[in-house]
Chains A and B, each alone.
Chain A
Amino acid sequence: MEFVTLAHGSGGRQTAELIDRVFRAHFESPVLTADDAAVFELGGRVAMTTDGFTVSPWKFNGGDIGKLSVCGTVNDLACMGARPEYLTCAFIIEEGFPLSHLEEIAESMRETADKAGIRIAAGDTKVVGRGQADGIFITTTGIGRIAEGVSTSGSAARDGDAVIVSGDIGRHGCTILLAREDLGIETDADSDCAPLWDTVSDVLDVCPDVHVIRDATRGGVGTVLYEIASQSGVGIVLDRAAIPVDGRVSGVCGLLGLDPLYLACEGRVVIIAPNSRADDIVAALRAHQPTAAVIGRVTSADKGRVILSTEIGTRAILPFPGGELLPRIC
């Protein structure tokens, strides 16, 4: 088996070979040249974002670090109502990482980028010594053009708005937790990792004045809702029974004492929009993901808090998220 070596990161002949064989082969496009920077035209309002990806294991049920690194950035752009246009990617590779894995990752990035409609415009490769990184780290930066008349922000939630999720929650976090911790629990649960511009674009078509769109990545839907509640100075009341959770995820959460509301999603957004448009939005979302649902309402009471109305008719505060997710003893 061939491996990435420190020589691949030296900047010389072997670096050129690696770039030709892996990156140029998979990322081929008119904007990707051998020059120092990509050059292109871009008009109007633009959104830009960057994100680092360090997931372990690099490959998991439903995706890999390559797919994730494209989805993460594409979805951040989509949340601002921006059509993804150009992507750059920087790789930090640990010496000894198999070349075949690197090719698999590059192929997966290409496939996801094509699906998301974003072009890979520039890249960088560094190799570090054994033990100085965990296999491979990827950083991607993306630029997108904001659709006409769209203005979303975490501070735009208003009293009476509907709180909507674009599909069942927590599957990515659950899949990674099981793959990483070797807890002896076996399920075929797979990550929800997916690029979301198409989904968001359809939502903006039916409701251009969506107030908030957020992808519920690290920290999950619960953390995102707390952020929105704080940014917008509002309260959020969720209907516990309406929150879509895959049976496999709720089973694992039950065993480990975790709440799916804190598990990461990589292909789900939280949408906050005028309640009168909620049905249209959910219908647009369900064309992509049948489990999309309205899960709650924004209120002017309970500012900064997220409250759950429970199956038994009581109100419980959703605990403020924080710290590492640790499975409980009993």
Chain B
Amino acid sequence: MNEKLRAAAEILSSYHGPKLRIMEVCGTHTHEIFRHGIRDLLSDDITLISGPGCPVCVTDISYIDEALYLAFEKNCIICTFGDLMKVPGSELSLSKAKAKGADVRMVYAPSDSLDIARAEPDRQVVFLSVGFETTTPASCIAVEKAKAEGIGNFTLLTANKTMPGAYRALMGAADAFLYPGHVNAITGTAVCEEMKELGVSGAVAGFTPGELITALAVTVKLLGEGKPFFVNCYPRVVRPEGSPSAIKLMDRVMAPCDAEWRGLGVIPMSGMELRDSYADFDARRRFDVPSFKGRIIHGCSCGDVLQGKCRPTECRLFGKVCTPDHPVGACMVSDEGACSAYYMYG
């Protein structure tokens, strides 16, 4: 550790004062904090809360049911990011559906599913478009390409979400937010400034151990001063204006809509759906997907975990019926989920 980092670590370990609750909103932050043992550095007066920033964790059960409907009833090829595979739907996960014969394929980028659509023109290919502002632009590019090339067998099943609504829904859950650097790289920092005006403090953090420790130390220091603040601690990647071209792209292809967040309920205008001009690429409209309710999971505290109201270990299913091999709630599914991180890193 260099001099500066040691000083930052010292701030975190020597802090004594009013209990501080800092929420790392981003799932990758949760994961990296555990991976590098950063909780080890914190004084007992600092608590980190793992927020809702893992796109897989906040995906509603009914969304998996919709995907399975398209796979089994409409014989579509379902293309998905890897970590959605294990998310439980009402009856099955995609992984189990695959074992039962559904054509589910893991891809790394939406454009890979477009390649599949080109290669198999007789099949309908549906890409499961989940993710925040970081991943949404890639879905938008795929749809624009599909339209330009006149590809008629490619659609998105959208569950894209945006962060600002979640920040508002989570006001009061923590003393400060550690904002997700990659989201801010796209959206810029205006939303964080707005939160500051609303009295909510926060800092944008990067992802290396040094960047995380620095952002946490800055947050602890400034919380001590008692005034709402916002600091961009990830300036090598995050510019105040974000990525204007990505923002324009998303705006051309998608429009805000209300969205269901697992554990948080419906947050107004916190989702993204395809604009009418791209209706042909919307799986729900093309296949007339019925609405699914999603089975309610009794005893699962994912909602409270996501809001920082309880620790994963306080959920009565944790580690008993709900484990990474047999996830009940979504927070146990992804490596980035708070419950999974608590379970794996004990």
- Asked if B5 lies at the interface with its beta carbon under 8 angstroms from chain A, I say yes
Contacts A310-B209, A330-B135: A315 and B108 contacting too (C-beta < 8 A)?
A: no
In the complex, A315→B108 CA distance in Å?
A: 32
- Asked if B278 lies at the interface with its beta carbon under 8 angstroms from chain A, I say no
In chain A between 287 and 324, which residues have their CB closer than 8 angstroms to a CB of chain B? 305, 308, 310-317, 319-320, 322-324
- Asked if A326 lies at the interface with its beta carbon under 8 angstroms from chain B, I say yes
Contact residues on A (Cβ < 8 Å of other chain), bracket: 20 to 34
User: Does B83 contact A326, Cβ atoms closer than 8 Å?
Assistant: yes
A142 to chain B, nearest CB (A): 32
User: Does B106 contact A181, Cβ atoms closer than 8 Å?
Assistant: yes
- Asked if B130 lies at the interface with its beta carbon under 8 angstroms from chain A, I say yes
Taking a contact as CB atoms closer than 8 A, the residue among A319, A320, A328 that contacts B83 in the complex is A328
In the complex, A142→B130 CA distance in Å?
A: 48
In chain B between 285 and 315, which residues have their CB closer than 8 angstroms to a CB of chain A? none
User: Does A256 contact B108, Cβ atoms closer than 8 Å?
Assistant: yes
A-B pairs under 8 A by CB, number: 92
Interfacial chain B residues near A319, Cβ < 8 Å: 344-345
- Asked if B324 lies at the interface with its beta carbon under 8 angstroms from chain A, I say yes
User: Does A326 contact B82, Cβ atoms closer than 8 Å?
Assistant: yes
- Asked if A251 lies at the interface with its beta carbon under 8 angstroms from chain B, I say no
**Which of A312, A317, A323, A324 has the most B CB atoms < 10 Å from its CB?**
A312
User: Does A330 contact B182, Cβ atoms closer than 8 Å?
Assistant: yes
A263 to chain B, nearest CB (A): 15
A186 to chain B, nearest CB (A): 12
Main secondary structure, interface of A, reads loop
User: Does A330 contact B28, Cβ atoms closer than 8 Å?
Assistant: yes
In this complex, what residue of A is CB-closest to B80? A329
In the complex, A324→B104 CA distance in Å?
A: 15
Interfacial chain B residues near A257, Cβ < 8 Å: 31, 335
Contacts A181-B106, A181-B108, A326-B82: A314 and B40 contacting too (C-beta < 8 A)?
A: yes
Contacts A312-B5, A328-B82, A330-B182: A323 and B325 contacting too (C-beta < 8 A)?
A: yes
User: Does A183 contact B112, Cβ atoms closer than 8 Å?
Assistant: yes
In the complex, A257→B213 CA distance in Å?
A: 21
Taking a contact as CB atoms closer than 8 A, the residue among B27, B95, B345 that contacts A316 in the complex is B345
Number of interface residues of B (CB under 8 A): 45
A75 to chain B, nearest CB (A): 28
B294 to chain A, nearest CB (A): 21
Contacts A257-B335, A329-B130: A183 and B108 contacting too (C-beta < 8 A)?
A: yes
User: Does B112 contact A314, Cβ atoms closer than 8 Å?
Assistant: no
- Asked if B60 lies at the interface with its beta carbon under 8 angstroms from chain A, I say no
User: Does A326 contact B86, Cβ atoms closer than 8 Å?
Assistant: yes
A328 to chain B, nearest CB (A): 5
Interfacial chain B residues near A182, Cβ < 8 Å: 112
- Asked if A184 lies at the interface with its beta carbon under 8 angstroms from chain B, I say yes
- Asked if B172 lies at the interface with its beta carbon under 8 angstroms from chain A, I say no
B326 to chain A, nearest CB (A): 10
In the complex, A310→B134 CA distance in Å?
A: 28
- Asked if A11 lies at the interface with its beta carbon under 8 angstroms from chain B, I say no
Interfacial chain A residues near B85, Cβ < 8 Å: 324, 326
Interfacial chain B residues near A313, Cβ < 8 Å: 1
In the complex, A323→B85 CA distance in Å?
A: 12
**Which of A317, A322, A330 has the most B CB atoms < 10 Å from its CB?**
A330
Show 28 A/B contacts (Cβ-Cβ < 8 Å), sorted by A: A184-B109, A257-B31, A311-B36, A312-B5, A312-B36, A312-B38, A312-B213, A314-B37, A314-B40, A315-B40, A316-B34, A316-B35, A316-B345, A317-B345, A317-B346, A322-B324, A322-B325, A323-B86, A324-B95, A326-B83, A326-B106, A327-B82, A327-B83, A328-B334, A329-B130, A329-B135, A329-B334, A330-B55
| A contact residues vs B (CB 8 Å cutoff) | 181-185, 256-257, 305, 308, 310-317, 319-320, 322-324, 326-330
